[in-house]
Amino acid sequence: MQFTPQTSGDDASNNFATGLPSSEFMLFETDSLNMAKNRLTSEFAPHQIDLKNKSNFFHTTAYKGQVADISLYRIRYCSDVTICSAPLRSYYLLYLPITGRIRVESDGQKTDVLPGEIIVVNPFNSYTLHKMDDSVQLTLKFDRTKLEIYLNALFGHSPMGPISFESDQALKYRNCENLIRIISLVEADLFAGSGMYNDEVSGSIAEKLLLDMLLRQVPNNYSKNLFTNQSSLAPYYVKKALDYIHENAHHHITMSNLAALSGISERALYDGFRNFRNTSPMAYVKNIRLDRVRAELIGIRCGATQRRKITEIAGDWCFSHMGNFSKDYKQKFGETPTNTMSEN
């Protein structure tokens, strides 16, 4: 049995199965608002769920599958509900209604999303989700760090700030056809229990395809750069400086040092970075150092690295003024160093 997204005249040839996913993917099924709240909190962020009509019967079913580090959920609410969520912090959520409709409220904006349309919720702000008309939706949870790493690979350097997707209006099918087609294919194979994505190689390929389509088809603050035809073949002197920065980011680096080892003037090196990396050499140095600090903080949070003071870690990467460091860190990642290191 198939569902064709209703997209108001758009070519919605991609289909989503309406049959139940394989039972192995059942996350929970409950008539309890409290249980649903607790389970959603454990999967996303602190949640509060309320029935729009208190006299209505509540029932929800949730399935979950995994494609590498991307989580895919299929959730049904049999009654109109309102969900209030704290900021996601470490994740981006993509909502795609299959039946019913949803309304997302965040940062003072209200956006209605119909079947066959999508919206992406950023990690930085709390948001409210209204689910109406016996809503069945797909939700994809994208790891923030993984998305930033992928964008880094596309640009050849790390992003100069957090990725922020536009959320003032839903993205219609005709504007993100490739992304929705890929989601529909992955969802069908995954929830049918084919086991296709259990293989590390297949899972990684599907993950990269979803990350790529998300960044290229959903408008964001890096969209212009993604579509700008910039050559990745930077001049030898820029490459030489880049290699030195990556290998020596924990040492003292100055503009004069970089120019001297590259064999050109400071002005020429500055122009080279502007033309081929869209930033200045010293801003690039700071950006790399911030990335290294964040990697260590995430390692501490995950238990992979021994716990140390943030000031000590920042100092190891040549940040001497903690006030400026904290400001730059929050501007780049949308959270404080303490937030990154803590569990939730």
How high is the pLDDT of residue 2?
Answer: 39
Give the residue, 76 or 343, on which the prediction is more confident: 76
Share of the chain above pLDDT 90, in %: 50
Classify residue 130 by burial, with Cβ atoms within 10 Å: 0-12, 13-18, 19+.
Answer: middle
| pTM strictly above 0.85 | no
Asked if pLDDT for residue 68 goes beyond 90, the answer is yes
Domain ranges within the chain, ordered by starting residue:
2-227, 236-341
In sequence order, what are the residues at sequence separation of 6 or more whose Cβ sits closer than 8 angstroms to the Cβ of residue 53? 79, 80
Q: Per-residue pLDDT tens for 82-102?
A: 999 999 989 999 999 999 989
Separation CA 147–CA 3 (nearest Å): 30
Q: Per-residue pLDDT tens for 27-43?
A: 999 999 999 999 999 99
Which of 27-31, 48-52, 215-219, 221-225 shows the lowest per-residue confidence on average (mean pLDDT)?
A: 221-225
CATH fold match for the domains 2-227 and 236-341: no
Class in CATH terms, 236-341: mainly alpha
Asked if pLDDT for residue 173 goes beyond 70, the answer is yes
Separation CA 251–CA 257 (nearest Å): 12
How high is the pLDDT of residue 224?
Answer: 79
Separation CA 222–CA 227 (nearest Å): 9
Class in CATH terms, 2-227: mainly beta
Classify residue 281 by burial, with Cβ atoms within 10 Å: 0-12, 13-18, 19+.
Answer: buried
